[in-house]
């Protein structure tokens, strides 16, 4: 009986210790402030959102957004460079505290990570040279189309372009290079990537063929982090209200954020 009593007491103590450790590790906002830095995963190589400038310095709307967030939180920004496919896995592996990487808010992703309220938007398009006739998904049947793996472009094109041969690339930079060098003729990506392709290969006469969909972008974080999510949500709302997030977006993308983003949350 004595052994049984000691065993039960030991189990109870272990359970309490485990619960305490879980609670201690649960407040990531406190941990970030204590560390004095925030690790933000950013998918570099995405024109206008996140890329390296001529001085080899990270820049773009997502980079500026991350820098502003870190400044307002009062901590140092540490950029964790990732590919598009590694955005959510990097967060899940706890190698980053947040993801600010043109990450569209989708039901599938929301099952494994939490999102802030939308801070920006991204448009998806299909593009190709002017002499290729494409008006909709049906025209992609039997054709090869390039896109970036593990993006909403991937999921929506896979779903709707049933007869297409889809060639998947690990990041936007590789996709752009493949279009610029003529390895592929059709792509699904963003207007900003089309602009980069047109800049680098004007002789290809690339143009948008049709718009696929607009998606709201969210800042991703670990699930069950109420303090951090509340802070990030309030930060996004405040900086939409004061116009700073719109100014960042317009600086790089040349247009204002849509009213559904700036007004609904203000």
Q: CATH 3.40.190.10 residue ranges in the chain?
A: 33-122+215-255+257-261, 123-214
Per-residue pLDDT in tens (0 to 9) along the chain, 266 residues? 444 444 445 444 444 444 433 443 469 999 999 999 999 999 998 989 999 999 999 999 999 999 999 999 999 999 999 999 999 999 999 999 999 999 999 999 999 999 999 999 999 999 999 999 999 999 999 999 999 999 999 999 999 999 999 999 999 999 999 999 999 999 999 999 999 999 999 999 999 999 999 999 999 999 999 999 999 999 999 999 999 999 999 999 999 999 999 986 54
CATH code reported for the domain at 123-214:
3.40.190.10
CATH code reported for the domain at 33-122+215-255+257-261:
3.40.190.10
- Distance separating alpha carbons of residues 139 and 162, to the nearest angstrom: 11
> pTM for the whole thing?
0.84
- Distance separating alpha carbons of residues 264 and 48, to the nearest angstrom: 25
**Three-state secondary-structure class, residue 96:** coil
Per-residue b/e over 175-195, b at no fewer than 16 CB within 10 Å?
bbbbbbeeebbbbbbbbbbbe
Q: Which among 242, 219, 252 has a CA at the least distance from the CA of 70? A: 219
């Amino acid at each position: 009986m004595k052994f049984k009593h000691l065993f039960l007491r030991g189990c109870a103590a272990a359970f309490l210790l485990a619960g305490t450790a879980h609670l201690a590790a649960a407040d990531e906002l406190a941990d970030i402030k204590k560390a004095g830095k925030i690790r933000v995963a950013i998918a570099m190589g995405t024109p206008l959102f996140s890329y390296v400038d001529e001085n080899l310095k990270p820049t773009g709307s997502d980079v500026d957004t991350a820098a502003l967030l870190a400044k307002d939180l009062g901590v140092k920004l540490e950029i964790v460079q990732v590919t598009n496919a590694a955005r959510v896995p990097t967060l899940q592996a706890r190698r980053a505290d947040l993801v600010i990487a043109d990450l569209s808010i989708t039901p599938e992703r929301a099952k494994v990570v939490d999102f802030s309220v939308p801070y920006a938007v991204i448009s998806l398009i299909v593009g190709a040279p002017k002499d290729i006739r494409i008006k909709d998904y049906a025209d992609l049947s039997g054709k090869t189309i390039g896109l970036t793996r593990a993006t909403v472009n991937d999921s929506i094109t896979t779903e709707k372009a049933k007869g297409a041969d889809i060639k998947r690339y690990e990041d936007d930079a590789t996709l752009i290079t493949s279009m610029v060098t003529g390895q592929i003729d059709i792509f699904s990506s963003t207007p900003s990537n089309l602009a980069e392709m047109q800049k680098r290969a004007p002789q290809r006469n690339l143009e948008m063929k049709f718009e696929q969909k607009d998606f709201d972008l969210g800042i991703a974080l670990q699930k069950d982090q109420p303090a951090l999510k509340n802070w990030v949500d309030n930060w996004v709302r405040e900086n939409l209200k004061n116009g700073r997030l719109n100014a960042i977006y317009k600086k790089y993308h040349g247009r204002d954020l849509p009213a559904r983003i700036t007004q609904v949350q203000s």
